[in-house]
Structure 1
């Protein structure tokens, strides 16, 4: 009876974008009909090796033996097609759920051009989405939304981010770790739900990411499979240039999950040394004066409950591994003149005074962020998740300049080589800006 039903569906064309697989029950009787879809889902964008290269990634439930993106300049009629690759991803859970993750790179796109696109194969196509390429060169003013710790439950900031993105407010999004809560949960179904949720943002704006502690399961396999970031072929760390900014993404988690070995930690640190040294060369700082890093767990915190950031206790990220003090990042970032460091992990927003080795190095009493003498750190982990808000310490440290545990996210506008503007959006207060400040620097480079 099942086979006759399937045959009738095929004849009537009702299974154009799906395939039926018969699975036996516990008595080995073929009773359950499992429909495996070819329809693209979880569509999201990222920058490629430069800003005129866009990587389109999506998933299907079954192999389509093809990965194609059709795209066209807005208001034009001639569509182009580019093919890419796909990989089978098997989740590490008990059910070993399988999906096929597709990747297509659109190269040599025109600057400041709006494109429309869809993705898929002859077995099924996505809806038509759009994106706009940035200007060429370094002399323009990118705008970004930056946040961490957003799950598929209690994703308080998502609707506002969707609206912002649809209005064209951002040139990119940066998600500073912790997705879905968790991507591997329920045999990766929660990860699928989250990727579908953010599609109304990430299919329109490059969605740049770094891993958090909630991505750890099965050696970060869900994170690594789902996101395609530029550079070294492993999305755990990479960098890219955007206008006057050199962005550096790294993994704080290599300092904590030694059950996967220490090789990732040593490789990342060596890469960070090379990348920051090159970015800090005088000729490169002349073109792209700002260096901004982002990683999940912070060096400094304003709460008492986190085992890895408790009061004056050292963090591995800041000073390095216990006792040996190897691979610490604060000295490295200080040496190479990192201007701003974004973190998340704590479910609140905190702006720090310029800080190095627990000491405040303001530019001056009147203008602390004008020519500061140390990096500025921002913790933005309040986008919304099922773990809710984080409490602050009863006695806040002296380096805490501003704090809020409203749900929300951070905006960054790089006006030029000397001025950055930041503001914190409160979703609790209907989009009100609860904090804003300028960073002004006449000269960029090492603080030493």
Structure 2
């Protein structure tokens, strides 16, 4: 019996001394769910064709761990159809405390995958040894050259309730129809609601889209709470501006994202408005240089609130009051964007905010500048504007004005979203998908330009 007691004691001592045996203490096991990755989503990095940023959330961080040990992406290219996660990248985790009364806490993880091969398929999962996500897959875009045709889905105003378009977008993403998604503001309705639980629910919902291809975003008015803190924390767009404004290149297109909200929430500081406007001037001027237009002819901007509206709801969207982003701040007329975009030859401007779809004739200062009566979008003499805010949310759809303005070319308040295919440097193709009509295309048009740049002086 004494020998048996000695053997048991020796075994217990060995267990205590062996390295690695106590890798997960009991209290950590009890909280393992807090380390499980969720809300996984992708974005383009600074180099569109070779960098992808992976972002996800956990409730807590494991204690006493090496910095970066809990923010890991394992990834690799499949071999003979088999998943091979042979590479590893580490990043950072940032504590995010919601501004609500319960001060809900989570950790946002960000890892950049660099030196990826262009036009290649990668599998990946994210997390740490305390918990891994499912294995996802993405495909990088072709090289930085412009001789390929990117396809995107574009929409705004999709919430976690009544997200009518999401199921179809998930299916089309899994079928490989898109190279990227652009969500033009207003997420979840609202991310901060219920101490950010609604934001968490929304990010989980879009994972079946956003974990498979870059999900590019811009803030809307529904992200305003606590100085846009949920938006800034959850998304990682290119640049150093908390994802408020940025640009990226994709095939023959230079995309420019900007915040319309800096015009409306000046209580957070006037400096954001001035910084964005200065940045827009520099970015558009560079993109419009002849050598850059030759390489990447199209300039497409997107921001949440539109310059022109086809409904009577908006208090600042008529010719008497003017939109702040179009004409600038009231009375002073500072920082207006319509003149800036016209000056630098922006081809297409995409907006949301209104819960419907509207295609405008080429327009500047309330005047239509069609290319011709027969082909209005062939060599138009002003930018083309599209409002696509009907993806689905709890505020539901909005009616149009009884008397539609003359610059309204087409409108629909079906739930749905917009598709863009940039065929080459001379042809863009847009489609509007109706989810109400089982995916039917309710609007389709080409933009054709054999010359890009500043528009002729308006008459």
Does the pair score TM above 0.5? yes
SS at match of 2:336: coil
1:281-360 map, 5 Å: 281-310=289-318, 312-360=320-368
Among 260, 274, 277, which residue is 2:282 paired with? 274
Indicate conservation of the 8 Å contact 2:354/2:387, yes or no: yes
Among 109, 130, 135, which residue is 1:128 paired with? 135
Indicate conservation of the 8 Å contact 1:252/1:295, yes or no: yes
Aligned residue number for residue 36 of structure 2: 39
Gaps of 5+ in 1: 1-10, 21-34
Larger-Rg structure: 2
Among 54, 59, 68, which residue is 2:57 paired with? 59
Indicate conservation of the 8 Å contact 1:240/1:246, yes or no: yes
Aligned residue number for residue 99 of structure 2: 92
Indicate conservation of the 8 Å contact 1:304/1:311, yes or no: no
Cα distance, 1:313 vs structure 2: 3.0
Cα distance, 1:308 vs structure 2: 2.6
**Closer, same or farther in 2 for the Cα pair 1:126/1:403, shift >3 Å?**
same
Cα distance, 1:40 vs structure 2: 0.1
Are 1:408 and 2:406 matched, yes or no? no
Cα distance, 1:310 vs structure 2: 3.7
TM-score for both structures, normalised by structure 1:
0.92
Aligned residue number for residue 6 of structure 1: none
Are 1:69 and 2:73 matched, yes or no? yes
Aligned residue number for residue 381 of structure 1: 389
SS at match of 2:196: helix
SS at match of 1:225: helix
Aligned residue number for residue 4 of structure 2: none
Aligned residue number for residue 261 of structure 1: 269
TM-score for both structures, normalised by structure 2:
0.90
Distance 1:18 1:302 in 2: 56
**Closer, same or farther in 2 for the Cα pair 1:18/1:284, shift >3 Å?**
farther
SS at match of 1:326: coil
Cα distance, 1:16 vs structure 2: 9.2
Deviation per CA, 1:324-368: give whole Å up to 9, x if none: 000000000000000000000000000000000000000000000
Cα distance, 1:232 vs structure 2: 2.2
1:3-14 map, 5 Å: none
Aligned residue number for residue 438 of structure 1: 446
Runs of 4+ that moved beyond 6 A? 13-17
SS at match of 1:96: coil
Distance 2:44 2:293 in 1: 22
Gaps of 5+ in 2: 1-21
1:380-399 map, 5 Å: 380-399=388-407
Deviation per CA, 1:371-407: give whole Å up to 9, x if none: 0000000000000000000110000000000000000
Distance 2:399 2:175 in 1: 33
Alpha-carbon RMSD: 1.6
Are 1:110 and 2:117 matched, yes or no? yes
Aligned residue number for residue 248 of structure 1: 256
SS at match of 1:37: helix
- Alignment size in residue pairs: 424
